[in-house]
Structure 1
Amino acid sequence: MQGHRPSQKQLYDHFAPKMLGVCYRYARTLQEAEDFLQEAFITVFRKLDQYRNEGPLGKWIYRIVINTCINGIRARCRFSDTAGRIDVEHLENESTAHPAAHSEIIELVRQLPTVYMTVFNLHAVEGYPHEDIAKMLDTNVNTVRSQYSRARTLLMKKLGSGPKTNENGKRG
């Protein structure tokens, strides 16, 4: 299929809509998500001869999409241990009990600093363990845990159910 345009178009048309949704979870704008998607499919077509039928083609493409998004984010910013906690169960309950809240929650996640949004999506949405995320982001596992915790804290505060603090930042 490599170099065979009609087959490539068919593959793209089949997988692109779902993969665009994945890209959008990591992008700041729709245009950036589309850029990630385009880069991912360029990689898919370039490496198609490396696919070994050792699992579903969609999972192989999905992994390339995730890696492309991470590389795109890396190019945009550095991952560091900066500022920011959400109760994932609370989010899941909110989105189940109130379907309209689901899109609001997605928007709140998208408003997080890039590093927190990325770590939160990789762990809470994609299900990657902290150790794998640390390898993907080329950082320390404790940094990933801290970033995830801070993402949860920020999301809980945005939802109005986070820990209350006084003007000195102390809980109370």
Structure 2
Amino acid sequence: MTEEVLLQGCINNEPMAQKELYQKYNSKMMSVCYRFAHNREDAEDMLQEGFIKVFSQIHTFRSQGALEGWIRRIMVHTCINHLKRNKKFNESVDLIHANGLQVREDSVPSIVQAKQVIECIRLLPIGYRTVLNLYALEGYSHKEIATVLDIEESTSRSQYTRARQMLEDILVKQKIIQKPQNKVSLLAAFGR
């Protein structure tokens, strides 16, 4: 089924088209939700809620970008709303398929796999993890993050800086990486 036919089928609420769209993107979107979630059950709830929004809003997709990117954006916003609704994010901020992870191979030992890094990201406090995901992995600016999370731009920047340092400490502690010798953060590998 072509993407046009798939889209039209989803707009017409055809179960077969919806099933095919879900099957095509569910594993990639689960990896997005998993990065934001506290546990697998939360990630599954986020994924389900996100696809409900995708199907109810599919008629607004204008084919001006990739369908996958449009779905991903809905998933990210669904995750953020889920965290806000459950007050998990706000409490943390007040306290101060690994697809999509872009690391430069020359700056990370070859034994480090994206899955290990994702698992370490999940060990971060939810506020740090959310800002790190949005900035380093989803490509949001600090201004956009501030707007989406209803925080100050400076809070987004400080959360990101602290998240990177904490993540580096976790990676070193778990012996996934070695402490950099030259004070240059290994997490410059995120490229942002």
**Is the shorter-chain TM-score for this pair beyond 0.5, marking a shared fold?**
yes
| Aligned positions, number | 157
> Aligned-residue CA RMSD in angstroms?
2.3
Residue 4 of structure 1 pairs with residue 14 of structure 2: yes
Structure 2 partner of 1:82: 95
2:89–2:126 contact (8 Å) kept in structure 1:
no
1:144 is matched with 156
Unaligned 5+ runs, structure 2: 1-9, 97-102, 173-178, 184-192
**Alpha-carbon separation, structure 2, partners of 1:158 and 1:11:** 37
TM-score, reference length from structure 1? 0.81
Q: 1:53–1:101: structure 2 CA closer, same or farther, 3 Å change rule? A: closer
Is residue 146–residue 156 contact of structure 2 (8 Å, CA) maintained in 1?
A: yes
1:69 pairs, out of 65, 79, 84, with: 79
Task: After the TM superposition, list the runs of 4 or more consecutive aligned residues in structure 1 that deviate by more than 6 angstroms.
Answer: none
Equivalent pair of 1:81/1:143 in contact (CA under 8 Å)? no
Mapped pair 1:37 → 2:47: yes
- Residue by residue over 1:12-61, the C-alpha shift from the partner in whole angstroms, topping out at 9 and shown as x without a partner, is 11111111111111112122111111000000111111111221211111
Q: In the alignment, what sits opposite 1:133?
A: 145
Structure-2-length-normalised TM-score = 0.73
Unaligned 5+ segments in structure 1 are: 84-90, 164-172
Measured in 2, the distance between the counterparts of 1:92 and 1:82 equals 32
Map of 1:23-172 to 2, 5 A cutoff? 23-76=33-86, 77-79=88-90, 80-83=93-96, 96-160=108-172, 161=179
Contact conserved, 2:29 with 2:47, CA < 8 A, in 1?
Answer: yes
2-side partners of 1:142 and 1:41: how far apart?
A: 32
